């Protein structure tokens, strides 16, 4: 049979590095292709690298059909599950795959909710059903969304790692994402650098490991630097608000000291008067 290579499916999972591809090629040449390639009809689902190497060297291979696939989304979910279980997949790759899985499941939930609600709306006038109590979920209520904790468990990551990978995935420049994939920067540092404008991220990534480290350090130091409570200038005097606030606080402290000094002096006078009445020789 003719095997069809769908380029979108082939690119759905990050490609092997040159070293990983060379190692796989040596293994196939020495031991043959022991694992069957997975097909969906004529479409190749799993084994793109093995298929390419086997064709290049004329190595025999077997195929197996997965008859459970109903749609391309099913194929994507299956591919994600397969790669989440592989030890060679990096933490960042597992996080991205888990986020893709959640996006697919969220889209399915939305579609199912809309379909069930349409069916419910169409049947309600005929059935004349009693109103649903306010504290009960409607019959078309979707299943709960995949939580970050469950997402982390499936990806074998911590919840904080998933949060950082979400930030990188949504905010990082392509050059920064590539730096994470190649190990030039850690996930935590990349999430920090992703806070910068895209052009600064790109410049740091192009500068290499040292520049990426320095960029992450600058962001962390800026976050630790104390900020004034207010900013701007007073509209009447033109004095910076922060400076005016400091001057005002100093004046309040001076008035408080003067008030306490006066109270202390009055108490001393009362004490002297009391001693005089009692004939205290200490007066």
Give the burial string for 25-36 (b: 16+ CB within 10 Å, else e): beebeeeebeee
Cα angle 191-196-198, degrees, rounded to a multiple of 5: 105
Structural domains in the chain plus CATH codes: 7-71 (3.90.1530), 172-225 (no CATH)
Higher pLDDT, 277 or 39: 39
Spatial CA neighbour of 192 closest among 206, 207, 183, 204:
204
* pLDDT, tens only, 187-207: 999 999 999 999 999 999 999
DSSP, collapsed to helix, strand or coil, labels residue 145 as: coil
224 strand-pairing partners: none
What is the rounded distance in angstroms from the CA atom of residue 155 to the CA atom of residue 60? 34
User: Burial, 183: exposed, middle or buried (Cβ in 10 Å; 0-12, 13-18, 19+)?
Assistant: exposed
Query: What confidence category does residue 230 fall into, taking pLDDT thresholds of 50, 70 and 90?
Result: low
Task: Tell me what the pLDDT averaged over the chain comes to.
Answer: 83
Quote the DSSP letter at residue 240: B
pLDDT of residue 238: 54
First to last CA, the chain: 119
What is the rounded distance in angstroms from the CA atom of residue 60 to the CA atom of residue 236? 86
The three state secondary structure string of 149-213 is HHHHHHHCCCHHHHHHHHHHHHHCCHHHHHHHHCCCCCHHHHHHHCCCCHHHHHHHHHCCHHHHH
Q: Tally the residues of the chain.
A: 283
pLDDT of residue 68: 92
Query: What confidence category does residue 216 fall into, taking pLDDT thresholds of 50, 70 and 90?
Result: very high
**Does position 138 have pLDDT exceeding 50, yes or no?**
no
103 token code pair:
């996006």
Average pLDDT over residues 76-104: 91
Q: What single string gives the DSSP state of each residue in 69-130?
A: --SHHHHHHHHHHHHHT-TTS-HHHHHHHHHHHHHHHHHHHHHHHHHHHHHHHHHHHHHTPP
* pLDDT, tens only, 10-35: 999 988 989 999 999 999 999 999 99
């Amino acid at each position: 049979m003719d095997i069809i290579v769908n380029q979108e499916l082939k690119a759905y999972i990050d490609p092997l590095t040159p070293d990983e591809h060379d190692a796989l090629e040596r293994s196939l040449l020495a031991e043959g292709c022991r694992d069957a390639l997975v097909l969906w009809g004529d479409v190749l689902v799993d084994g793109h690298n093995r298929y390419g190497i086997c064709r290049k060297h004329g190595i025999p291979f077997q195929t197996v059909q997965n008859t459970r696939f109903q749609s391309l989304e099913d194929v994507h979910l299956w591919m994600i599950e397969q790669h989440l279980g592989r030890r060679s997949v990096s933490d960042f790759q597992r996080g991205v795959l888990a986020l893709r899985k959640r996006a697919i499941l969220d889209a399915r939930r939305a579609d199912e909710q809309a379909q069930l609600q349409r069916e419910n709306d169409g049947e309600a006038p005929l059935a004349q059903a009693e109103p649903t109590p306010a504290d009960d979920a409607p019959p078309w209520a979707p299943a709960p969304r995949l939580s970050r904790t469950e997402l982390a468990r499936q990806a074998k990551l911590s919840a904080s790692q998933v949060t950082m990978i979400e930030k990188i995935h949504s905010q990082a420049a392509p050059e920064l994402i590539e730096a994470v994939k190649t190990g030039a920067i850690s996930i935590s540092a990349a999430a920090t650098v992703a806070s910068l404008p895209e052009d600064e991220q790109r410049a740091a990534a192009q500068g290499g490991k040292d520049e990426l480290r320095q960029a992450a350090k600058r962001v962390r130091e800026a976050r630790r630097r104390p900020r004034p409570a207010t900013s701007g200038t007073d509209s009447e005097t033109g004095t910076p608000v922060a400076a005016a606030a400091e001057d005002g606080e100093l004046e309040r402290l001076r008035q408080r000291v003067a008030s306490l000094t006066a109270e202390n002096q009055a108490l001393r006078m009362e004490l002297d008067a009391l001693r005089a009445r009692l004939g205290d020789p200490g007066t």
